[in-house]
């Protein structure tokens, strides 16, 4: 209580232009009458004022730093990210998101935000929807108790919102063009204040002056449309020739991180009656890894047409890597050939977690036998494992075992040889935002 009263008195001195010495005397008199320790009071006033001065210098430094970045940036995606970072730094929040209004679709959209991307929500949704209706700043420091809070985005992004600051953005014609939202104040009580709102307005003033929202909305629509088309084409390139196989039953779970996936798979019936299949985990997400996956599929189809043995395929693949991969790009992959009588399996694997095979009562672990592939010639090592009673196998990418929240311990992966357990895991993560692409291919003998 003492500190709160002092802060009010000091801030009053600054806003009313009164002589600081006069205000300090009044404060000391007030607390002397209450028998408070005058020396402690003076120490607090000095420390508080010094802290305010330090904070002011920090804010000026942030403004200067980001003003330079903003003035030099021409790419709209990068500019949006810089602006989000600017607001986040000013109010010391964990995240900041710039929601822009698309009046024709009646939605807020964001291409760039901390923890989210390419997301659309109705204009009436949640706290930013309330800002849109009221046309005023809203601070919520207990969102899960707030009626208008929409927890759906938390669920989608695996995040816990503790406090929210949301402020309307107007253009120079006083038309509302969006809402700037900060999430989770990084202080002891995780609460935003009116002072944070004033600081947020500094970033908003930049946004209002430089953003052409109609152009950005059009650009974002084009980006999403093109990404969607590319994703549909990539999905069509995921081959499963064993779907109606008389002997093998195949279950595939495929959950991309974003529109375009760095994961891929392909399952083929070999010319000699055996089975050739692979799972890829290309580096990153987006256009480059999706091209890599398409290039690998083209290579494999050509190898099958030429009726190459599995060893010949491995040799040719090693030589083709310099054309398939770009500079510094890495590719993790597991390739397999299972003979038609299920007596042996040949494989080469690079940078992947072990493929698990149930052979009778035993579970075999086929560990990677090559380092991750890069854009130069590799002499690829191929191993052959004899089988006594092949039952099933599972190939999976590291998204399953390395996700921060929804991971499966690598020592428990043999449980995923059970189709129902595997399906249950993918049901759990179906609406979750994972850290990476997640793929699992389960092949069972009928």
Domains present along the chain, CATH in parentheses: 1-72 (no CATH), 74-235 (3.30.450.40), 237-445 (3.60.40.10)
- pLDDT at site 216: 56
Q: In 10 A of CB 366, how many CB atoms?
A: 19
Residue 44 has what pLDDT? 47
Q: How far is CA 172 from the centre of its chain?
A: 33
Q: Which of 202, 209, 182, 204 is nearest to 193 (CA)?
A: 182
pLDDT at residue 31, rounded to an integer: 46
Provide the CA 205 distance to its chain's centre, in angstroms. Answer: 28
Cβ neighbours of 143 (radius 10 Å):
20
pLDDT the model gives residue 41: 47
pLDDT of residue 73: 72
Q: Give the strands of the sheet with 119-122, arranged side by side.
A: 119-122, 107-110, 93-102, 176-185, 164-170, 138-140
Structure confidence at residue 8 (pLDDT): 57
**pLDDT of amino acid 114:** 47
User: In angstroms, rounded to a whole number, what is the distance separating the alpha carbons of residues 120 and 256?
Assistant: 18
Q: Summarize the chain as % helix, strand, coil (round to 5).
A: 45, 25, 30
Q: What is the pLDDT of residue 270?
A: 93
Mean pLDDT by 10 residues, the chain (446 residues): 50 52 50 47 51 69 75 71 84 87 82 58 87 91 87 76 90 83 88 84 72 58 66 77 92 84 90 94 78 88 93 93 84 95 95 94 94 84 96 93 82 89 90 85 94
DSSP H stretches of helix in 237-332: 287-305, 310-324
Distances (CA, A) of 258 to 157, 362, 388, 435: 12, 37, 41, 10
């Amino acid at each position: 209580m003492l500190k709160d009263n002092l802060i009010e008195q000091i801030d009053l001195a600054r806003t009313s232009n009164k002589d600081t010495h006069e205000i300090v005397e009044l404060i000391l008199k007030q607390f002397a009458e209450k028998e408070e320790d005058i020396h402690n009071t003076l120490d607090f006033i000095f420390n508080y004022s010094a802290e305010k001065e330090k904070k002011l210098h920090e804010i000026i430094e942030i403004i200067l730093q980001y003003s330079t970045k903003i003035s030099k940036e021409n790419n709209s995606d990068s500019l949006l990210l810089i602006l989000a970072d600017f607001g986040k730094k000013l109010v010391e929040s964990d995240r900041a998101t710039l929601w822009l209004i698309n009046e024709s679709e009646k939605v807020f959209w964001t291409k760039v935000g901390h923890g989210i991307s390419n997301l659309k929500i109705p204009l009436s949704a949640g706290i930013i929807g309330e800002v849109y209706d009221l046309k005023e700043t809203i601070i919520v420091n207990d969102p899960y108790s707030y009626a208008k809070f929409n927890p759906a985005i938390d669920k989608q992004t695996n995040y816990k919102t503790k406090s929210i600051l949301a402020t309307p953005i107007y253009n120079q014609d006083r038309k509302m063009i969006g809402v700037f939202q900060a999430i989770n104040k990084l202080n002891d009580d995780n609460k935003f204040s009116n002072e944070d709102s004033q600081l947020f307005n500094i970033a908003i003033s930049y946004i209002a002056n430089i953003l052409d929202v109609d152009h950005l909305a059009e650009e974002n629509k084009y980006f999403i449309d093109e990404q969607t088309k590319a994703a549909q084409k990539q999905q069509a390139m995921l081959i499963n020739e064993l779907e109606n196989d008389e002997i093998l039953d195949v279950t595939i779970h495929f959950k991309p991180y974003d529109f375009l996936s760095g994961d891929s798979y392909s399952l083929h019936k070999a010319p000699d009656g055996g089975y050739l299949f692979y799972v890829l985990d290309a580096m990153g997400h987006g256009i480059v890894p999706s091209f890599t996956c398409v290039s690998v599929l083209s290579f494999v189809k050509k190898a099958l047409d030429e009726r190459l043995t599995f060893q010949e395929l491995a040799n040719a693949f090693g030589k083709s890597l310099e054309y398939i991969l770009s500079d510094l790009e890495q590719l993790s992959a597991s390739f397999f050939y299972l003979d038609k009588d299920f007596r042996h399996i040949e494989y080469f694997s690079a940078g992947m977690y072990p493929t698990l095979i149930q052979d009778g009562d035993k579970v075999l672990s086929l560990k990677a036998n090559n380092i991750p592939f890069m854009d130069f010639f590799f002499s690829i090592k191929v191993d052959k494992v004899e089988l006594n009673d092949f039952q099933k196998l599972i190939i999976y990418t590291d998204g399953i075992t390395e996700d921060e929240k929804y991971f499966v311990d690598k020592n428990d992966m043999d449980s995923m040889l059970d189709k129902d357990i595997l399906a249950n895991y993918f049901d759990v993560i179906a609406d979750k935002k994972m850290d990476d692409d997640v793929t699992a291919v389960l092949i069972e003998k009928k």
